[in-house]
Amino acid sequence: MRKNTKRWIASAAALGLLTGGAVFAAEPVDENVVAVPEDSVTEEAPAVVNGAALYNVVVQDVNGVTMIPLREVAEGLGYTVTWNGENESIEVRKGAQYITMSIDQDSYAFSRRAPQSLGAAPTLVNDSVTYVPLSFITDIIGGYYSVNEDGSYKIVNPSIVTVSEVQEDGSLLVTDSYLGEVIVRIDENTKITGAGQEASAKDIKKDMVLAIEYAPAMTMSIPPQTTAVTIDIQNLPVENVEGTEEPEMDLTFKGEITSIDNGLVTIGVPFEDDNALRLVISNDTQITKGNDKRVYKLEDLEVGMVISGTHSEPMTMSIPPQTVALTVNIEDEGSEEEAETLESVAFEGEITAIDGDIVTVGVPFEDNDAICLVISDKTQITKGNDKRIYKIDDLEVGMKISGTHSAATTRSIPPQSAAITVEIAD
């Protein structure tokens, strides 16, 4: 996938506008304010979703740095935390997100990418609770925070959604990758921003990408309904000094479709491929296939297809980034495979982790030859002279394996590549 340039629009662009929880209004205040029905049955919004919020996190000053309790915050945002007492290392996971760190080492690795510094190492307080810098929220997880009156912190990991419809009553029908369709209502307490400045409900249009903090209560209806505490319009057009809109640049992409979900087409593998991208396909997206004159639709796209095209310049800071597809061209089958080299590289080592279809050989960040192998249907897995057909389910942590992988590898740590052959040692 090729991009000429990028404009990253942060969902935490205006922290000063963020407040505590929203309340449900009894009646609209103006044409943009919408009320949640008073007879709605509500429940607490699920924690492990596309976004979550913690309202009263107590911080500590550690060597002059504001630090937060890692397990309390991470688990509150839907992550699982695993402590390894032998080497004092920590794993934080949610779905495909994988964060690793070690006590007293200012090095935070996110989803197999090169580690980065936050200016302070994870620290054990009272030899029992791990604290990490507050910047862990903004720089690693991609959320934001605000300070409560009592000195505690509100920490938010916003939901990244796409606007399917702006309804007549001013509410929004959005597509949430975890919850599906959700009706989001806007009241007088909802804070709306975009492009680093204050915005209004009138600025929200169909197919826009929003970072939303849901209110704690959500109805059990289908689709569920809730009120927005904050909304940041991720792709609000930016105005220049004369007050006219800057023209958006058309940026190019190319890659294999790995998933299609509610009008969102993902190319590449999120959290693994640096160039993975999630494309919003709208009625205005022009879909073609070579010189074919047929009019193609979203329904014609399939997982495994290689597509190319252009997308709008604004994109979210989510992983993978999300943007609106302007044009999509369905490439001929095999065109990308033919362009790849057929060279292979040998590997050998012990399996230390198996996560979905990814098998890790060696210890990441410790072994120089550690590698993550993507096991596909094309990977040939054998064991000595055994004629049995082996699959990824036959592989186990602790096994010693050898084989070959594609010469093409990612620049992550450890590198990732497609396994061609795997031999299980006796």
Contact 235, 209 (CB under 8 A): yes
Give the tokens for residue 260.
Answer: 């299609």
SS3 75: helix
Give the 3-state secondary structure of residue 82. strand
Question: What would the pLDDT profile of 398-412 be if each residue is shown by its tens digit?
Answer: 999 999 987 766 656
Pairing of strands 209-214, 277-280: unpaired
Q: What integer is the mean pLDDT of 67-84?
A: 92
Mean pLDDT of the residues in the chain: 78
Q: Is 178 exposed, middle or buried (0-12, 13-18, 19+ CB in 10 A)?
A: middle
Contact between 11 and 211 under an 8 Å Cβ cutoff? The reply is yes
Confidence tier at 312 by pLDDT (50, 70, 90)? confident
Kindly report the backbone phi and psi dihedral angles of residue 140, in degrees, each rounded to the nearest multiple of 5, phi listed first: -105, -55
Query: Which is higher by pLDDT, 141 or 60?
Result: 60
Asked if residues 231 and 212 have their Cβ atoms less than 8 Å apart, the reply is yes
- pLDDT(342) > 50: no
Tokens 């969102």 map to which residue?
A: 264
> In whole angstroms, how large is the CA radius of gyration of the chain?
23
Residues constituting the chain? 426
Using pLDDT thresholds of 50, 70 and 90, give the confidence band for residue 386. confident
DSSP letter, residue 140: I
Domain with CATH 2.40.50.140 in the chain: 251-338, 344-424
Fold classification of 251-338 is OB fold (Dihydrolipoamide Acetyltransferase, E2P) (2.40.50)
DSSP label at residue 298: G
Matching CATH number, 344-424, of 3.20.20.450, 3.20.20.70, 3.40.50.300, 2.40.50.140: 2.40.50.140
Give one DSSP letter per residue of 324-361, joined into a string.
EEEEEEEPPTTHHHHHS---EEEEEEEEEEEETTEEEE
Peptide bond into 46 cis (omega under 30): no
Lowest mean pLDDT among 70-79, 256-265, 310-319, 387-396: 310-319
pLDDT attached to residue 30:
37
Please list, in sequence order, all residues whose beta carbon lies within 8 angstroms of the beta carbon of residue 96, skipping any fewer than 6 positions away. Answer: 111, 270, 271, 272, 356
Q: What is the pTM of this model?
A: 0.51
Which residue is listed with tokens 């084989």? 403
Confidence check: pLDDT of 328 > 60 = yes
What are the tens digits of pLDDT across the range 258-309? 888 767 888 988 766 777 888 888 777 888 887 777 888 888 898 888 998 8
Domain 52-156 is in which class? Answer: alpha beta
User: Alpha-carbon distance 313 to 250, whole Å?
Assistant: 6
Query: Quick one: which H or E segment has residue 74?
Result: helix 70-76
The confidence band for 325, taking pLDDT boundaries of 50, 70 and 90, is confident
Give tens-digit pLDDT for 211-248: 899 998 889 888 999 999 999 887 776 654 344 444 44
pLDDT at 238: 60
| Sequence-ordered alpha helix ranges (H) in 189-340 | 335-339
pLDDT at 353 over 80: yes
